Amino acid sequence: MSINHYIACDLGAESGRVMLGTLDEKKLAIEEIHRFPNSPVQISNSLRWDVLRLFDELKFGLRKAASRGIPIASVSCDSWGVDYILLNGNEPFLIAPYHYRDLRTDGALQKAFAIVNKEDIFAETGIQFMTINTLYQLLTDLQERPSILNAAERFLNVADYFNYLLSGVARAEESLASTSQLYNPWLRTWSTKLINQFGLPVKIFPEVVRSGTILGPLLPALSADTSFQGTQVVAGCSHDTGAAVAAVPAKSGKWAYLSSGTWSLLGVEYQEPIINGKSLGYGFTNEVGYGGHIRFLKNITGLWVVQECRRSWAKEGKEFSYAQLTEMAESVTTLDSFIDVMDPRFSKPDDMPAKVAKFCQSTDQFVPRTPGEIIRCVLSSLAMLYRQTLDQVEELTGRTVTTLHIVGGGCKNHLLNQLAANASGRKVLAGPVECSAIGNIIVQAIALGHIPSLEAGRSIVRNSFPLKRYDPEDAPNWEKAVKKYSTVVQK
């Protein structure tokens, strides 16, 4: 009986995890070896990532795994998209990398459209327009700090950067590159057309590799530090949602996925990009998944609003756990208030409870005041947005969606799962929680020949992790609420 061990370095916008995966024939077990916070650093009126501390945390996790005395076949990193690190020579970076919520890209869309029109950018990339995208961050660098950008030999998105620090091989993995809005999903490589039109330095764009590419062995210094022998570094699905989708425990059929966390990423797997006026108008994006599948999805502001409400209350000395907030929200049973979670006012951190109340007041709704009322308003609004997005998916793909698989940390929120079923009128299957790490490990195992295919990997996930089912409830009241929500978000 063959038993193999893998390490997934799973980096989220709030926290990071070093996860040990053990594949024993048809069963996969995962264990959290090390968890650490990932908070941006405010420096000189800018918001940055502390990537050196993050790498130190990853190495600490590798050493803890090494203390088990078991052979590790491979290691791979996944992360959020769009942010990047500029490199030159052997220096760890040229400047401390910016956080996607930094204000420097405010107004960047309009500046970009003055160079290349919106329709042409979308036709070339199929990516949803967000000021945080790599394209607009690089364009801001070009306009505001050209000397630094021109000094760079290359850039690497976050997970690719950490895979580089582990292996010494600098490559752009395609699931992560495809989130940049500088990647052509038809040609499956960087868009030289857009790079040249925007005047970005061609030299900084690294070679793109497919998901599941073996980069090479762990660097000698890291092998010596951990005593790992023969451990390979794999560019799996370096984008965390790409990894999560690879592990969705779905069978063939009428299903969609929701990777639920700080962001909600909702969509379907499709055989080719859907790039047309309607997908542009609805704000959908075409990202690449394992095996070249298109992750046709929409990026939705997810539990970010809840997280920021919690932070605001903590500043006032009111410490609530997420479980306590959910329990308080459950006690509110009416559907009196909704917000448009995609409204720009909710994208920046600053007294989120007041923003929620002000939105409801400005749209002539009941104004939530207590933490329970505010969280219920946010979660109900998210559920309504899920329904709207699923309806749009059906319209754009011609597919009927009957089942929504919710994966990631947000699937622990049983109230949101039930609200999603109620609002959408569709069955919800929740789990696994650590789907990004699980998908990361599944792709590593496929790359090393330990699992024959993605379908076999998903079968292993179904056999290994329990799912919880939620069926729609209280349909008449929710149908009335849908009409109210539609009115609110159009004001």
Q: Indicate which residues carry an active-site annotation.
A: 240
Maximum C-alpha span of the chain: 65
By CB neighbour count within 10 A (0-12 exposed, 13-18 middle, 19+ buried), where does 114 fall?
Answer: exposed
Taking residue 280's Cβ as centre, other Cβ atoms within 10 Å add up to 18
Residue with tokens 């394209």: 135
Q: 223: helix, coil or strand?
A: helix
Structure tokens at 435: 């789907």
Cβ-contact 478, 384 below 8 angstroms: no
Measured in whole angstroms, the distance separating CA 164 from the mean position of its chain's CA atoms is 20
- Residue 461 tokens read as 């996930």
Backbone angles phi, psi at 239, to 5 degrees: -85, 130
Q: What whole-number distance in Å separates Cα of residue 51 and Cα of residue 261?
A: 21
DSSP state of 211: T
* 3, amino acid identity: I
Q: Is 88 helix (H, G, I), strand (E, B) or coil?
A: coil
Q: What percent of the residues of the chain are helix, what percent strand, and what percent coil, each to the nearest 5?
A: 45, 20, 35
Structure tokens at 142: 């070009």
How many residues are there in the chain? 491
Q: Please give the single-letter amino acid code of residue 225.
A: D
Which is nearest to 330 in space by CA: 365, 366, 375, 293? 375
Q: What are phi and psi of 143, to 5 degrees?
A: -85, -30
DSSP 342: T
* Cα–Cα distance for residue pair 22/232, rounded to 1 Å: 16
Residues 441 and 185: their CA atoms lie apart, in Å, by 25
Phi, then psi, of 84 in degrees rounded to 5? -155, 165
Rounded to whole angstroms, the Cα distance separating 161 from 92 reads: 10
Q: Is 373 helix (H, G, I), strand (E, B) or coil?
A: helix
Cβ neighbors of 20 (< 8 A, separation 6 or more) are 5, 6, 7, 30, 31, 32, 33, 65, 68
Token pair in block for residue 18: 């070093």
CA distances from 64 to 15, 20, 225 (A): 18, 10, 11
Q: b/e for 443-466, b at 16 or more Cβ within 10 A?
A: bbbbbbebbeebeebbebbeebbe
